[in-house]
Structure 1
């Protein structure tokens, strides 16, 4: 894309480091998945303890994100990124040498705190480096790095586990993270000194109709995605009698489609009304979700998974540059605080999705629960868009991709 040929050396370096940081973050997040059976067999945890293990990441991220976003606005992106990467390395080493569930949960909690430092700060760094007309494409690329890390974490972890032992995936990931720390320390240049103007009135920001709409869209997309992770494998296994490897490939198709569509949707948000793109993504997601239930064969299920992943990617990608543009409207450079709020919406979805899925599948068959969720996503998406239109808070020039207050 033309936008990448227009980058300065500083912009290319910053984007490269953001890609590496977000990639390693999500690689570490999914690295645990293939090693769970080993811990289940050796430590004999209850289902409740396993639930706490997986939810502790999102809980820690929710608690720590409001702290790190504003800190990066005041102290600078480089320092907070280094703190987050050091936390990721420490949590990964703790995973490698954990021999109790308490230590595993602690490691996952520390990992969530580290992600609270890296995610919003990395996105804020992109907003610092790139003008609004370039942010859509680069933010979409950042989302692709996230999906790639998620996609590769489980198979890499499983392969390293098989050729060695349960510690090897974590030790290898820790080594990769340490290399990343050294590179950031040596080559990522600190931006100009922070200014007093880089503050955000969080209360007013959250009352902004545009931000309310984005928050609602992020929650709908994340809840839908995270709801499928614990419920869909059981449904597909029962329907098609498939192996865990096949389940993994189906989810890989969803993640791959997400990663491929994200930069496309990000680029489109520079040319068209991003709010209409987000709404279109939610409508597509709601339309595609029932195909998961109606798929009559394995290849149809794979196509359905890819369509759902593409729907989520198309929905979420325009939210990132649009949040940056809202900050620009206010004349503030407090991108760290803004993307910390995005991270919080993301974390709430990670917690609420599996919880909603568990409640619904206790009351309904999985197929019915997915149809109910699709209808709810469509209904709430329409309601959010109508509220945004009624507020008259924004209009977008599609020729320039610039937002203006009415």
Structure 2
């Protein structure tokens, strides 16, 4: 990409640390997955308690995100990133030595608190460092770091677990996190003092038509993606008689497609109307989701997974840079608060997606549930885009009348 030679030293260092932080955060998130059977066998938890274990991450993130994002606008990005990395290291060590379900849930909850500190702060740091024309592609790279961490976490965790037991994956991840913490402490410079203008009226910000559209798009994409995690493996196993390893490969294909398309969509958002890109992405997601239910072979399923993953990446990548541009127009510089709201939309989708999938598949076949969700995404996507255009045209007409008076 042509903008890399133009990056300053502070921009390169900041981007490198954001990539490392987001990568390690999502790697830790998925590291637990291959070790779940071990905990299930040794602790014998109920299905409800396992659900609480996995949802505790999103619950903690939803609680803490609106607190940590605005704080980073006041005290600076470096301090908040250090706090988040300390939390990640502590949660990972707690995972390694947990001998009860209560401790596992506590570790997962602390992990969610740490993510609430690192995610919005890391994205806000990129918005601080890069001008609007570069943000689209840069934010796409950040999303690629997230998807790469998600992609590699489970395989790394499984390999380390098989090599030397259930504690090793967590201890290795904790060591990696501590190294990252030390590097941030010594090499990421403090920003200049924060401005008093860096405050955001959250209520007014959320009522902004463009922000409301972004919130809706993020929710639809995240709900769709997270809904597939608990429902699709069972459906594909029954329909295609495939192994767990093959299911993991299919989800890896989806994550890889997400990571590859994100920088492309982010780069396009600086040249093409980003709201059009988001709309195209969400409609593509709705169109491709039914192919997951209709696929009759493994190759067809792999192609459908890739198209769904690419659609989600294409949808979400422009949202990050566009939120930053809206903050720029308001003149506040409160990127931490803005990206904390993005994190909240993401968290709501993580909670609502599996819940919706569970409810629908309790009363309907999985294939019918997927098609119904796709139709809902298609309908809501069109409705939100029409409402956005209507509100923007209304504001334009009102501004024109005021100029004539």
TM-score after normalising by structure 2? 0.97
Cα distance in 2 between the residues matched to 1:285 and 1:160: 35
Cα distance in 1 between the residues matched to 2:351 and 2:47: 16
Cα distance in 1 between the residues matched to 2:160 and 2:395: 51
Distance apart, 1:190 and its partner CA:
1.0
1:370 is matched with: 370
Cα distance in 1 between the residues matched to 2:264 and 2:247: 27
2:383 is matched with: 383
2:399 is matched with: none
Q: List gaps (5 residues or longer) in structure 1.
A: 397-405
Distance apart, 1:116 and its partner CA:
0.1
- Is this contact kept in 2: 1:292–1:305, CA < 8 A? yes
1:32 is matched with: 32
Cα distance in 1 between the residues matched to 2:121 and 2:358: 33
Corresponding position: 1:8 with 2:8: yes
Q: List gaps (5 residues or longer) in structure 2.
A: 397-402
1:38-93 deviation per Cα after TM superposition (whole angstroms, max 9, x unaligned)? 00000000000000000000000000000000000000000000000000000000
Distance apart, 1:252 and its partner CA:
0.1
RMSD: 1.2
2:110 is matched with: 110
Distance apart, 1:3 and its partner CA:
1.6
2:217 is matched with: 217
Q: Trace 1:221-370 onto structure 2 (pairs within 5 A).
A: 221-370=221-370
Cα distance in 1 between the residues matched to 2:32 and 2:49: 15
Distance 1:163 1:212, change over 3 A: same
- Is this contact kept in 2: 1:209–1:393, CA < 8 A? no
1:110-164 deviation per Cα after TM superposition (whole angstroms, max 9, x unaligned)? 0000000000000000000000000000000000000000000000000000000
Higher mean alpha-carbon deviation, 295-304 vs 102-111, is at 295-304
Report the number of matched residues.
Answer: 397
Cα distance in 2 between the residues matched to 1:159 and 1:148: 17
2:123 is matched with: 123
Distance apart, 1:393 and its partner CA:
6.4
Cα distance in 2 between the residues matched to 1:149 and 1:395: 42
TM-score after normalising by structure 1? 0.97
- Is this contact kept in 2: 1:82–1:184, CA < 8 A? yes
Cα distance in 2 between the residues matched to 1:53 and 1:100: 12
Distance 1:49 1:234, change over 3 A: same
SS in 2 for 1:195: coil
Cα distance in 2 between the residues matched to 1:159 and 1:226: 25
Higher mean alpha-carbon deviation, 78-87 vs 386-395, is at 386-395
User: Is the helix fraction higher in 1 or 2?
Assistant: 2
Distance apart, 1:395 and its partner CA:
10
2:177 is matched with: 177
Distance apart, 1:236 and its partner CA:
0.3
1:144 is matched with: 144
Cα distance in 2 between the residues matched to 1:3 and 1:106: 43
Cα distance in 2 between the residues matched to 1:394 and 1:19: 40
Cα distance in 2 between the residues matched to 1:394 and 1:172: 56
SS in 2 for 1:317: helix
Cα distance in 2 between the residues matched to 1:190 and 1:230: 42
